[in-house]
Structure 1
C-alpha cells in the first residue's frame, strides 16, 4: 500500500467512524418513545431503579438518587461527550426505607440531606468513597401526616445555612380538602425555612419552629430559589374532585400553580408568610366552567360558595394568588432554574383522576429578572420539551417525570418514578441545555408534531435526517479524495 492509499484509507475510516453511534449499550423504553421539541434530544441512561424521585449531583460527579422505599443510591456515569452518557456502576450509599423524595448536598459536598414523611435527616458524606461517615442526625421533626408523605427540601444559596422544607400538601394535609389547614397554628399545608447551622442535639419541631414562608399551600411539592434574585418559587398540585354550586368542575379546575413565596436574603416581600388560599380558595384554569364566577385564569374562587365563604374571601386583598396557573391535574413535582435564571424547568407527573389523561411531560417556563415572562393570566407559559406520544396509555404505559438535576456540563437529568428510569435531555446544537431563556444563548423552543426521538433517544427525526445528509456528504468527499490520490 503506497502513502496516498494509506492516507485515504485512514481518512475514510476516521470519517465513517464519526458517523457511527458511540454510546453502548443502548437502552430502550418499554413504551412508545417520547416526543421532544425541535432542537432537543432525550436519552434514556438508566433503568431498573426503585421509584426514583429526587436527584442531586455530588461534588465528584456521581448522581445521587432517592429510590423511594430503599434509600439513596449513587450512579457513576460514563461520559463520552455531549449526548453519550451511560451508567457504569451503582452503589447504595444510604440504606433507609423511610426516605421518599427530598435530597440535598451541602457543606462543600460533605453532607447529604434526605427526608422521610416525618423527619429531615443529615449524614456526613465522603464523595470519594461514596459512603456516609456518620449516623443519621435528625434536624427537623413533627411533619407526619396520613397522606402525601413527600417532603421536599432546598438549601438556600442566598442565605447559607437555611433550608426550606415542604411536603406534598406541604405539611401533610390529611385529605383532599383539609379544614385544619385554614388555621396557621395547625402546621398543615405550610412551607417553612430552618437555620440548620444552629441545630445541636435537639431537632427543630416543624409545628412551632422555623420561618414561615407561606401557608394555605395545598401540595407544593417542587421548590427552587431563583438564582439571580433569591426569589423562592414553588409548584403546587391543587385539589381533586372539586364541585361548586352543586356542579362537578374537576375536569379542568382548579389550576395547578406556580407560587412566589418571598426571599430568605433579607429582601422584603408582601408575599412572604401570606395565606395562599387553601382550603377555602382555588385557582381558575377554565373560568367558563366555574358556575357563578366572573374572574379570569389565575384568579381564585371560593369552595364551598356560601354566605361566609365567597369570591371576595379569595381576592388579592385577602389571599395571595399564584404567579402562574397550569392545566388542572398535570401534577407538577419539581422546578429547577438554570444558573442564569432565564428558564425554570418543571416536571409534570400527570393526572390520575381526569377522563382524558393530561400532563406526563417535561416543560420549561421562560424567566427574566426573577419573574416569569408570561402574564399571570397566561395559559401557555409552560412549553413542553419532552412528552409522551400516547397519553391514552398513561399512567401505566408511559414515563412520569419527577426529579430534575443539572450536571456540570449544563445537561438536564430527569427521573421517572413509574418506570424506574432516568433520562438526560440535551440540545442538538451542542449548546448546554441550561443556556435557554431570555438572557442566554438560544430561545425557548416551539414544539413540532414530527420531532420524535429514536428508540435510543439518540436524535430527533429531523436531526437524524440531517446527520444522514452530513454522513452522505462526508462519504462523497472521501471518494473524491480517493479519486484525486489514486
Structure 2
C-alpha cells in the first residue's frame, strides 16, 4: 500500500475511534419512580443525588445552574450532550455554597449576571460560564423575614432586561395583613436594576405588578408578546358559611399580568386573596351558600357580610385566565419558544384525602397570546408526565418543581423529593 494511502487509512481509523468515543451513550440512571409519559413525549433522568433541587436555568454555554434548597446553594452542572435524550452530567460542583439560598434563580439575558434569592434577600453575582465561577455578590433587595411561604421566585425580563420580578407569598394560609398593599406580601413586584445603587433596597420599594396573590411561585414572560403570567398556589382548609369545601376547592390559578410598560389594564391589579379565591368544583357548594358559582368564578372565603360579598370578588378583583384542581401546587410555568403553550410543574397536594398533582402539564395558547380554552374551562390542562399511582404520593412519587428549556428545545424538570433532573423531548 502506498505510504500516503497508509497514512490516510490510519487517520481515518483514528477519526473513527474519536467519533465512537464521543458518541458513547450516557449511562442509564433509573428514575426513583418511573413516570408515565403522554403519547409523543419521552423522558430520561439526567442527574440524581441532589438535595431538594428547585428552580434551574441554562447559561449561554448550555450548562445547568440549579438552586438546591436543602442546605446547599447554587450548583453548576456541565453536560455531555449526545443528542435527544442522551444527556448526562459530565461534572457537577457547588459554585455558591450559601445554605440560605433556597429557590430563586435566573440569569441576565447576556448570561453575565446570576440572580439568586433567600427568604430575606436577593443577590446578583457576576458569572463566567466558561470558567464556572462567580464574582463578588451585590446585595440588591432586602425582604422582611417570615415563617410561611419562604421562597422568592426571580424572573428577569428578556424584553426589558433591566427589570427584575420578585414574587413573595403570604405568611400564613390566610394572611389578613395582605389586604393592605403596603404589607409587601402575596405580591409580585418589579425592580429596575439600573436604579439600585450600592445599598440594597427594601422589597416594598418595588413597583407592584400584582397583589392579592397568595403564593405565586411560578412566573414567566411570553417570549412573543412580552406579557407576564404566573401560577398561584391558593388557600388550604377553605370553608364557606360553615360548609367544608376544601377537598376540591379553591382552584389553583394561571394569572395574566399584562406587559411591563404599565399600559395594561391589569398592571398592578388585585387578584383577591385573602378575601376572595376561585371555584374549581361548584358542586361542593350548597345552593344557599353559593348559588351561582362556575369553574373559575371568584367567591368569598368563610362567611359573607354586607361589604364582603361574592359580587365584590367578581367585580373588584381580577380572576384567573385558567383554573386547575385544588391543592395541586403549581411551582413553575414556562412558555415554549413559539408561545404556543405553557408547561406547568405541579408539585402535588397535601390538603386533600385523595392525592392530586405530582405531574407536568401543558396549556395550549392562541397566536394572540392567551389560552385556547375559556376561563371557565375544566379541561385546559393537558397532562404530559404523571406518576404511575398517585395514591402512593407524596412518598412514592416524583414531585416536579422547576422547568427550563435548553437551546435545542428540550425541557428540563427538577424533582425535589427524589433529587432528580429529567430531560423531556416531544414538548
Whether TM-score is above 0.5 comes out as yes
Matches of 2:297 and 2:322 in 1, distance apart? 10
Match of 2:411 in 1: 412
Matches of 1:105 and 1:24 in 2, distance apart? 28
Deviation digits for residues 279-313 of structure 1 (CA, Å, limit 9, x no counterpart)? 00010000121232112100101012232322112
Q: Is the partner of 1:220 in helix, strand or coil? A: coil
Q: Is the partner of 1:313 in helix, strand or coil? A: helix
Match of 2:6 in 1: none
Kindly indicate whether residue 264 of structure 2 is the aligned counterpart of residue 257 of structure 1: no
Of 103, 115, 119, 1:113 maps to 115
Deviation digits for residues 173-204 of structure 1 (CA, Å, limit 9, x no counterpart)? 22110000111121121111000122211212
Match of 1:90 in 2: 92
Match of 1:213 in 2: 209
Deviation digits for residues 206-262 of structure 1 (CA, Å, limit 9, x no counterpart)? 12x111111110011000011111111000000111111111110100000001112
Matches of 2:124 and 2:28 in 1, distance apart? 36
Match of 1:355 in 2: 353
* Superposition pairs of residues 38-187 of structure 1, within 5 angstroms: 38-68=39-69, 69-106=71-108, 108-134=110-136, 136-167=137-168, 169=169, 173-187=170-184
Deviation at 1:393, TM superposition (A): 0.9
Matches of 2:153 and 2:166 in 1, distance apart? 6
Kindly indicate whether residue 268 of structure 2 is the aligned counterpart of residue 269 of structure 1: no
Deviation at 1:144, TM superposition (A): 2.4
Higher relative contact order (CA 8 A, sep 6+): 1
Larger CA Rg, structure 1 vs 2:
1
Q: Is the partner of 2:178 in helix, strand or coil? A: helix
Say if 1:59 and 1:127, in contact at 8 Å, map to a contact too: yes
Say if 1:71 and 1:97, in contact at 8 Å, map to a contact too: yes
Deviation digits for residues 456-481 of structure 1 (CA, Å, limit 9, x no counterpart)? xxxxxxxxxxxxxxxxxxxxxxxxxx
Kindly indicate whether residue 279 of structure 2 is the aligned counterpart of residue 284 of structure 1: yes
Match of 1:464 in 2: none
Say if 2:32 and 2:398, in contact at 8 Å, map to a contact too: no
Deviation at 1:143, TM superposition (A): 4.1
Matches of 2:85 and 2:161 in 1, distance apart? 34
Please, which moves more after superposition, 299-308 or 417-426? 299-308
Match of 1:449 in 2: none
Say if 2:215 and 2:232, in contact at 8 Å, map to a contact too: yes
Match of 2:398 in 1: 399
Of 229, 236, 246, 1:240 maps to 236
Match of 1:314 in 2: 313
Matches of 2:409 and 2:309 in 1, distance apart? 47
Matches of 1:249 and 1:358 in 2, distance apart? 16
Say if 1:303 and 1:309, in contact at 8 Å, map to a contact too: no
Q: Is the partner of 1:424 in helix, strand or coil? A: strand
Say if 2:179 and 2:212, in contact at 8 Å, map to a contact too: yes
Say if 2:108 and 2:161, in contact at 8 Å, map to a contact too: no
Match of 1:470 in 2: none
Q: Is the partner of 1:185 in helix, strand or coil? A: helix
Q: How many residues align?
A: 401
Give structure 2 stretches of 5+ with no counterpart. 1-15
Q: Is the partner of 2:328 in helix, strand or coil? A: coil
Deviation at 1:22, TM superposition (A): 5.6
Deviation at 1:159, TM superposition (A): 1.7
Say if 2:113 and 2:127, in contact at 8 Å, map to a contact too: yes
Give the aligned CA root-mean-square deviation in angstroms.
1.5
Say if 2:412 and 2:422, in contact at 8 Å, map to a contact too: yes
TM-score by length of structure 2 reads 0.91
Deviation digits for residues 307-328 of structure 1 (CA, Å, limit 9, x no counterpart)? 232211211x211111110000
Deviation digits for residues 91-110 of structure 1 (CA, Å, limit 9, x no counterpart)? 11111101111111116211
Q: Is the partner of 1:149 in helix, strand or coil? A: coil
Of 340, 343, 347, 2:341 maps to 343
Say if 1:220 and 1:237, in contact at 8 Å, map to a contact too: yes
TM-score by length of structure 1 reads 0.81
Cα distance, 1:344–1:143 mapped onto 2, change above 3 Å: farther
Deviation digits for residues 378-429 of structure 1 (CA, Å, limit 9, x no counterpart)? 11111011000110111011100000001111100000000000000012xx
